[in-house]
Amino acid sequence: MKNILISDKLAEAGINYLNDQPDLHVHIQTGLDEQGLCDIIGDFDALLIRSDTKVTQKVLQAGKRLKLVGRAGIGVDNVDLAAATEQGIIVMNTPDANATTTAELAIAHLMSLSRHLPIADRSVRSGKWERSKLMGAEVAHKTLAILGFGTIGRIVAQRGQGLGMNVIAYDPFVAPEVFASYEVESVGLDDLVSRADYLTLHCPLIEKTRNIIGTQQLGSMKKTAMLINCARGGLIDETALFEALKSGQIAGAALDVYENEPPANSPLLTLDNIVFTPHLG
């Protein structure tokens, strides 16, 4: 009998599947901090998480029986991979599980920004009728710039092409023939940023991509450009983004992910030209 700990909210269907396995004993306990997780992890053979649980070196060292950490989702930046490797603990993720969901959310944010939907909604609710002011713009023939051309980035590209957008992308780990097969132009990062009408991020958070969008990149963008992030909060320097939005250096942004979640004290919350969602992707 193997003991499985689920420390984040998972889909009921997945939990039912695990409970149906005769050789597994499933225990669910969410909302644990590092010490709380350390206190109980020693009794378990596997740990199943989403994005809330932080699997630190301390947690892994406390997991004397731990053989597997399973991430229901794509990113594994909340797991200390080096420590897991050192201890022989397998870390698995589900890279395709929510790819379409995340890609569609990015497109939803793109459309929301292009037509000022949240602002228009608030305007009508307050008794105003600002049709000309909030008309927005078509996305057809605009440039959709994708940073990261993995599974999600490729779905976003297809959706963007379906909307009649010109799609360019940057990903140094993807072969030229892959870009060609999707009829997407491969460009460098500087070119991507400067040409974007809509810049959407779909790369993992690693040391090289942390704050990959900062003051320099935001300063190179068109003043009419929009930034969308449904990947990882640490990809954007949020202080630089606040200044760029406040000064009008870029026109708007939409965030589903944040450096700290929830972003309770973020100055970004004081701005009108940004749309927020609570990590729905």
Point out the residues that are catalytic: 232, 261, 279
The C-alpha atoms of residue 147 and residue 3 are separated, in whole angstroms, by: 40
Q: Is the peptide bond before 262 cis (omega within 30 degrees of 0)?
A: yes
Sheet arrangement for strand 226-229:
185-186, 166-170, 143-147, 198-201, 226-229, 252-255, 274-276
Amino acid identity at 137? A
Note the helical H segments in 5-92. Answer: 12-19, 34-41, 57-62, 81-86
Helix, strand, coil abundance in the chain, percent, nearest 5: 35, 20, 45
Which among 99, 169, 112, 100 has a CA at the least distance from the CA of 139?
112
Helix (H) or strand (E) holding 252: strand 252-255
CB atoms within 10 A of CB 223: 10
